[in-house]
Amino acid sequence: MPDSIEVDGGETTYVYVDGPMLNYYPRFYAVTAFDKGYPPGYGDVLASLETSPLSNYKRVTPSPSPEQYIGKNKVEVVPNPYRIDDDYAAMKWEDWEGAGWSEHTRRIDFINLPPECTIRIYSLNGDLVRTLEHNASTNTASGRAASAESWNLISRDVEAIVSGLYLFSVEEPNGRTQVGKFLILK
């Protein structure tokens, strides 16, 4: 993502610089047009007009490219801990599409992933809770980060997971493995 945006408006160039950007934290951008109208005392009163920011907004999730990963970044989980009492939907972390909240819209993200890997999530007892396949070349959903994979906190048995400490492993095709843990507080 560029550090600035330049728009050639004929003889005038408009620039907007947004930063610093946090990786994996979604941002929404919209360009709107407006006029000031005519205030009282200048003839007919005409209210100012502005186009709706909802008509052309774009969701952007900045992230490092998979090529930047190569042996540099440790895989992490965000948010960690995941707390049920935090309003992630209000922060646009969950339900950012506005489809309405459900148990299936909860999510955590595994970040700093290599371009291709298998993520396995385990309970502290060692039971396999879920397996996720990550492939940056097919992770093309709108606004998705190529080096991140989301999990909706639903087990492989299609049940909501319970509070607790979970372990995960990330295995690359070459056999390189990373392990970590995350906490779910419901």
Q: Give the residue extent of every domain in the chain.
A: 4-60, 66-185
Region 66-185: CATH code: 2.60.40.1930
pLDDT band at 89 (very low <50, low <70, confident <90, very high): low
- What confidence tens digit (pLDDT) does each residue in 138-183 have? 765 544 567 888 898 999 999 989 999 999 999 999 999 999 999 9
DSSP of 52-112, one letter per residue?
-GGGS-EEE-----HHHHTTT---EEESSSEETTS-TTTTTSSSTT-S---GGG--EEEES
pTM of this structure: 0.59
